[in-house]
Amino acid sequence: MKGQPQHRKMLAGAGFCGACTLGGFLWPRFGLPAPGALPFFIAAYLSGGWFATRDLAGELRRGVFDINLLMIVVALGAAGIGAWVEGATLLFLFSLSNALERFANYRTEETIGSLLRAAPETACRREKGEWVEVSTESLGIDDELLVKPGELFPVDGEITEGATSADESALTGEALPVSKRTGDPVSGGTMNLEGRAVMRVLRLPSESAVQRIIELIESAREQKAPAQRFTDTFTRYYTVAILAGSVVFLAWLLFWSRETFALAVYHMMTLLVVASPCALVLSIPSAILVAIAAGARNGILFRGGVAVETLAGVNHFAFDKTGTLTTGELEVARIETAGLTTVEETLAAAAAVAQNSTHPLSRAVVREATRRGLAPVATSDVTNIPGFGMEARTAPGLVAVGSRRLMEERGFEVTGFSSSGAEAEVWVARDVLLGVIYLRDRLRPDTPAVIAALQRAGNSVALVSGDRAAAAEMVARAAGIEEVHADLTPNEKLQWIHRWRQEGKTVAMVGDGINDAPSLIAADVGLGMGARGSDAALAQADVILMHDRIENVPTALRLSRRARRIIRQNLFISLGTVAVLVGFALAQKIKLSLGVVGHEGSTVVVVLNGLRLLRIRPDRSI
């Protein structure tokens, strides 16, 4: 891609600048002649200032004065008075931050593109009674396609032949497989789990559900205004003021005070040095870089300083359900028998059949039987019933395992059971109905404590899910969340984010699926689950929680708020120091050497102040 060589060149230039700066700094400290360090600093200036100078040239042609001009002038001023280390260090940090920003933009664009490329490139189309493999780009409305078990549905359409179930968790957040029979709609990008199915194309690939989500991502990106940092605005005007003020000061010294040219230049350089906002420029990045490092050490990846600053102001959290508040894995919640067998006997009969399937419901049943120590039962004559269940013969007789509808078609009475509608159901029958196994998405153990910690910190919390209302409400009750919005499409999730922001709330969205990506980018700050999250969700997340540790959400909030306090302290220190030193410089009451000491001292103080963020540790009570 076009952006890839650019960000790599910028990273290489920043790395070379840092190495040369370190070499020049260490050279005289090993007892070597000081002039020998000059080539190192010149190389650092050239490599660290190349891209900034190139950008500056374009900005000056447009009449724009911003941080690039400030950095170049300050670095040259530092070189003019022999402060090479400071100038080179500034260029290193500045070039590194620009390279990382360019890399983040490249990764976002690349991931959105990979989302499109992840869709099937070919499909099996019926032509004159035969199945022919063709490009998905050649598909048309009403084409008939064959989709085998384990394959992705290539486009949006409807089932015309066969029965199966589909994994729609990536698009809708629904943790449970969705049964698909003749006439049921299917979405491109979802997976066919069971039987062979024939589908009819209803939308072209360019109009698929995945494509619509990508369009929502782009729309949300346009609606989210970029964060404007205080230093960006301040230094834009400050740069011009300092340069103009230095020239005026030089003229005043020459023509009013009648100083010699050499002495006037000396005083002007003193003013330029003490007025240069090096501490100001470092006050925010130094704290941000330490906050990012502290977060990474605790499994929290901040995508730049904007994420740190914005998260500090959040007062409303919106959580996705599946894979975020829950693990995304099904577990047996309870087993209800018909009174003819024990719970263990019912489970053992179901596991005997389920062990022959890789369906998520079957795996959960087998896992529960293993956990209870039930011995595997031998089976034969295993038959899959797509969209309904399966059956197999055991020593006591033929066992059928599947949906309520399968039991009804077999003539069993399925009334009298306490179905809540919030759980998946696996019905078990032999010669008679044995019972029903209820399964649910497992809540993360730390979820209730995380929600409570966020609420104690003054935040409101809501659950937004594409899952069924009954399932979402059950998870919300267990987690301690009162505001619940279920059965939402990606666009409806997005609308809730916009609504909360219009109400004046600063919103953080926490999610993991493709369907969460538009909401993650539309929110003031998006937090993505790192291990389980989809590429699209992680690309749009401002903060990534590595290893799926939801307990890091309060830690990230606490770290960002501490960073905000330190940034404010650094701004006060840097601006206060500049004001005092500039006053003395204008009064010609400070020597250049003392000005450099004061200037350097304030820079060291703000950096050390930022290092305090490294002491933050996760809350072990969660």
Just list the catalytic residues.
320
Query: Nearest Cα to 337, choosing from 241, 433, 201?
Result: 433
Burial 336-350 (b: 16+ CB within 10 A, else e): bbbeebeeebbbbbb
Helix (H, G, I), strand (E, B) or coil at 218: helix
Q: Do 41 and 143 meet the contact criterion of CB atoms below 8 Å apart?
A: no
Burial 571-608 (b: 16+ CB within 10 A, else e): bebbbebbeebbebbbebebebeebbebbbebbebbbe
Which residues, 6+ apart, have CB-to-CB distance to 15 below 8 Å? none
Q: Which residue has the tokens 């044995």?
A: 434
Tokens linked to 412:
């069993």
- The Cα diameter of the chain in Å comes to 113
Q: How far apart are CA 514 and CA 170, in angstroms?
A: 5
Angle at CA of residue 453, ends 448 and 456, nearest 5°: 125
Q: Do 198 and 162 meet the contact criterion of CB atoms below 8 Å apart?
A: yes
DSSP track, 115-175: HHHTS-SEEEEEETTEEEEEEGGG--TT-EEEE-TTPBP-SSEEEEE--EEEE-HHHH---
Q: How far apart are CA 406 and CA 181, in angstroms?
A: 13
Handedness of CA 534, 536, 539, 545 (dihedral sign): negative
Q: How far apart are CA 578 and CA 572, in angstroms?
A: 10
DSSP track, 59-87: HHHTT---HHHHHHHHHHHHHHTT-HHHH
Q: Do 300 and 542 meet the contact criterion of CB atoms below 8 Å apart?
A: no
What is the number of other CB atoms lying within 10 angstroms of the CB of residue 67? 22
Query: Nearest Cα to 100, choosing from 20, 207, 12, 191?
Result: 12
Tokens linked to 529:
């689950």
Tell how far CA 119 is from the center of its chain.
22
Residue 241 backbone zone (phi > 0: left; psi -120 to 50: alpha; other: beta): alpha
Angle at CA of residue 231, ends 564 and 56, nearest 5°: 140
Going by the DSSP 8-state scheme, the letter that residue 376 receives in this structure is P
Q: Do 387 and 376 meet the contact criterion of CB atoms below 8 Å apart?
A: no
Q: How far apart are CA 273 and CA 105, in angstroms?
A: 34
Q: Which residue has the tokens 């834009």?
A: 236
